[in-house]
Structure 1
Amino acid sequence: MNVSHRSASASSLQSDAARRARLQLLKRLQHSDQLLDTLITSSDYLSELLPCDAVAATLDGEARGSDPALAPLARHLADTLAAQDGNAPCLIQRLERPVKDLSEVLAIRFDAHHDGWLFWFRKPDASRSLAWRTEDLTQAERLRTDLLELRLTQMQQTVAAQRRWISALGHSLYNPLQSIGMSVGLLHVSGDRNLDLQQHIRDASQRMQALIRRTLEVNRLHEGERINLSLADCDLSALIHERLIACQPNNDTAQSHLDIPTGMTATLDTSRCSELLDILLNNAFGHRRRGTPVSISLSEADRMLCLQVANQTSEQNLPLNTLFNPHSHAEGPLHRSGLGISLYLAREIARAHGGSLQAEQNEETLCFVCCLPRAIN
């Protein structure tokens, strides 16, 4: 057997060994819920996949290394390489100050959102013209692709489990709350204070039931369901006045500013539009600056009915792009009171009608603009 044949045979054996190591590693990772720890305890597979002297990894702000001294280095490298070119499949780095004689680094980023990096380390070798060969980069890129797919699958499973948990929790809470609301009406009370307490319990129970209903519906929408509409002719002008009476606080001293022409009709789902109006009106009354009125107007343009609900706010530069995101962690009074779910649902109701809902801010005025077609095609 000549030299070229021996070289090809050795290369083939190395490739087969690397492939087996990669498959064994992935099998271990698929059956583990601690990816970072499993990567490091599988350092033998990583070394067989890509010959090296040590390995390290980072994920979710934590770091592990086959040598504990490599953990701080891994965190530093993750920050440095992400700032340089975190989107490259493989990154090569030479350490100016070797750690335990390790100076050559090959890195892959397998989870950009959770700071997921894997590092191979080598000691300098005078017999090698290059620290990392083309074959090394190829194996690293293959593993990166496998890890990306694994992380995507894990995240999809996590999201599905969370939605099942939300659904189970919502149904578990809804039944006892419904019982509380029904039981309050059976209590025999006397005196204005007791009557007020009874009404307070009833109102709180109804608000909690509404929030649970909306949470469950948002959960279903995220699973791909659509909002079903029962369309009929609707006097939107009259409906706005009706919902305004229901939503306006009893002790409200600031009169609402109304510009609502009579007889503005459209083909709508009256129940769903009532829910949309309640969300917008409760939002305006609940988050206006104390003592200021809420402005409500209705107009028509291009066969669309445009409703505007505005209130004065002390919060400037609100993150309008996240107001309708039920999972947003943005700061501010709207998010602290959990209105992301309600506003998200209101927008989906408008979209189901073929319309739109958006937020605008002009200095201290926050305005929600809802446009609905007079007739749905």
Structure 2
Amino acid sequence: MHLEKNQTKVLIVDDLPENLLALRKVLEQSDRTIFQANSGEEALSLLLEHDFALAILDVMMPDMDGFELAELMRGTEKTRNVPIVFVSAGGRELNLAFKGYETGAVDFLHKPLDVGAVQSKVNVFVALHRERNEVKRQVAALEASRRELRATQAELERSLKMRDEFMSMIAHELRTPLNTLFLEVQIRGVQLDHGNMDVFNEETMRKMVARDRRQIQSMIRLINDMVDVSRIRSGKLSLRRVQSELSSLLVRIVGDLAHHAAAAGGTIEVHAPDAIHGVWDEFRLEQIIINLLTNALRYGGGKPIRVTLAIVGEHAHIVVQDQGMGIALADQQRIFEPFEQAETYDVRDGLGLGLYIARQLAKSHGGSLNVDSDPGNGAAFHLVLPCNQYEAGDMDT
């Protein structure tokens, strides 16, 4: 039986086919579907399968009469609230109507039926059923809207919290190098005011310049990170791909970071036996690798860091392995989100943007960046890059 989406269902039950046919003709309308059953068992099966606006039951049926069917309906959760109208050819003196109302019927009709009265009563129950369904739909829609509103409110609160934390972190991260520079300027000013020019010898000046450079570079790095995050989120990050060779790039980067490793009390070992060529943005690759290495130096506990390079199929695999405190499983995806750091890190360092930017840069190359770690056993960051996905000079946004 083909049912229209908004059709209302009415069940008629009688053991005589001619009665079913006659009642069906009385009740049929374009906005409803009439289901019929010639026994109580068949009616129960239909009642458990469909949502009926009304069930019209003949009282006198073999095996299971209308009253017994009504009792079963009232004892089942799905059918408990289906309105029941009894129909009987029995005389009024048998007091069947009273028994019908006792079983929970909403009406009792005697045969021969008054066609107009039957149609009017059925129309009322069909209308009530539609109104109930519409109320249910509106309640469900209202609850869905409330859930959506609560989710939106929670997201807004989270965004506001992130904004406040971001502004606080920016202030903190900028304040440190700015305070250092400000103090340096004050000290130099005092020396100049007192005419102590002897303190500005070559060695002292070199140390001053080195300190100034470190503080300025720290602020530039912070600003660059914020710019990169803005470009990534707006889809405006561009790559300039050129033919590159990874092995020599790794060796150069590790060489540049040698003094940082020494200052941290550790070393960086490179294992890149083969030259691996591909088409990448060298500046962005250097950004990723420097981020991973400085991260390893920061949390590696002063132990050796191992960098390996290998080719697997058409992909270059770079692994940066440290021997530090490791990263808990619960943190291993969170650390790649902006402004996040692992809970196991005792001291917050920076804005927590580095790994987020590094992963996004890897993705922009068609690659990936993931971490493998057990707490207490260090962390291994795996950078995977396709070797020849683009032609040199291609741009991405």
**Count of aligned pairs between the two proteins:** 241
Counterpart residue number, 1:286 = 298
Is 2:199 the partner of 1:200? no
TM-score using structure 1 length: 0.52
The 8 Å contact of residues 239 and 281 in structure 2, kept in 1 or not, is answered as yes
- TM-score computed with the length of structure 2 as normaliser: 0.50
Q: Identify which of 345, 353, 358 aligns with 2:357.
A: 345
| Counterpart Cα distance in 2 of 1:280 and 1:161 | 30
Output the amino acid matched with 1:145: A
Counterpart position of 1:44: none
Distance 1:157 1:238 in 2: 47
**Structure 1 contact 303–374 (Cα < 8 Å) conserved:** yes
Larger Rg: 2
- Tell me the secondary structure at the aligned position of residue 314 of structure 1: coil
The structure 1 residue matched to 2:285, chosen from 254, 270, 273, is 273
User: What residue is the counterpart of 2:49 in the other structure?
Assistant: none
Alpha-carbon distance change, 347 to 191 in structure 1, aligned in 2, over 3 angstroms: same
Cα 1:221–1:194 change in 2 (3 A) is: same
Question: 1:232 aligns to what?
Answer: 242
Partners of 1:347 and 1:357 within 8 A in 2: yes
More off after superposition, 198-207 vs 278-287: 198-207
Q: 1:325 to 1:266 in 2, by over 3 A?
A: same
Question: Structure 1 residue 219: deviation in Å?
Answer: 3.5
Distance in 2 separating the partners of 1:220 and 1:134: 49
Whether the 8 Å contact between 1:233 and 1:265 is mirrored in structure 2 is yes
1:208-262, Cα deviation, whole Å (9 max, x unpaired):
321222123224433x415321110112111112211222315465432221125
Aligned to 1:12: none
Q: What letter is aligned with 1:208?
A: M
- Of 235, 241, 250, 2:251 maps to 241
Residue of structure 1 in register with 2:88 after alignment: none
Aligned-residue identity in percent: 23
SS in 1 for 2:372: strand
Correspondence for 2:142: 143
More deviation, 235-244/273-282:
235-244
CA contact (8 A) 1:323 1:335 kept: no
Task: Return the structure number with greater relative CO, CA threshold 8 A, min gap 6.
Answer: 2
2:382 pairs, out of 341, 344, 369, with 369
Aligned-partner residue type, residue 352 of structure 1:
S
Within 2, Cα distance between the matches of 1:360 and 1:156?
30
Q: Which residue of 2 aligns with 1:210?
A: 221
Measure, in 1, the Cα distance between the counterparts of 2:382 and 2:320: 7
1:324 deviation in Å? Answer: 0.8
CA distance in 2, matches of 1:254, 1:153: 47
How far is 1:264 from its partner?
2.0
Secondary structure at the aligned position of 2:366 is classed as coil
Amino acid corresponding to residue 228 of structure 1 in structure 2: S
By how many angstroms is 1:137 displaced? 6.7
**What is the identity, as a one-letter code, of the residue corresponding to 2:361?**
I
On the 8 A contact 1:312/1:366 being kept in 2, the answer is yes
State which of 343, 350, 353 in structure 2 corresponds to 1:331.
343
Counting only pairs closer than 5 Å after superposition, residues 140-219 of structure 1 correspond to structure 2 as 140-151=139-150, 189-219=200-230
Q: What SS class does the counterpart of residue 384 from structure 2 fall into?
A: strand
Change (3 A) 1:280 1:316: closer
Amino acid of the structure 1 residue aligned with 2:383: C
Give the partner amino acid of 2:316: L
C-alpha spacing 1:279/1:271, structure 2 compared with 1 (3 Å): same
Report what 1:34 is aligned to: none
Q: Does 1:295 align with 2:295?
A: no
CA contact (8 A) 1:235 1:265 kept: yes
Of 264-273 and 156-165, deviating more is 156-165
Larger CA deviation: 273-282 vs 314-323: 314-323
Provide the residue aligned with 1:102 in structure 2.
Answer: none
Shift of 1:156: 6.6
Q: Deviations over 1:34-54 (max 9, x none)?
A: xxxxxxxxxxxxxxxxxxxxx
Q: Distance in 2 between matches of 1:231 and 1:356?
A: 17
**Residues of 1 paired with 2:269 and 2:339: CA distance?**
33
Which sits farther off after the overlay, 279-288 or 197-206?
197-206
CA distance in 2, matches of 1:217, 1:256: 27
Kindly state the Cα deviation for residue 274 of structure 1 after the two structures are TM-superposed. Answer: 1.1
User: Shift of the alpha carbon at 1:201?
Assistant: 2.7
Gapped regions of structure 2 (runs ≥ 5): 1-131, 189-198, 391-397
Residue 309 of structure 1 corresponds to which residue in structure 2?
Answer: 320
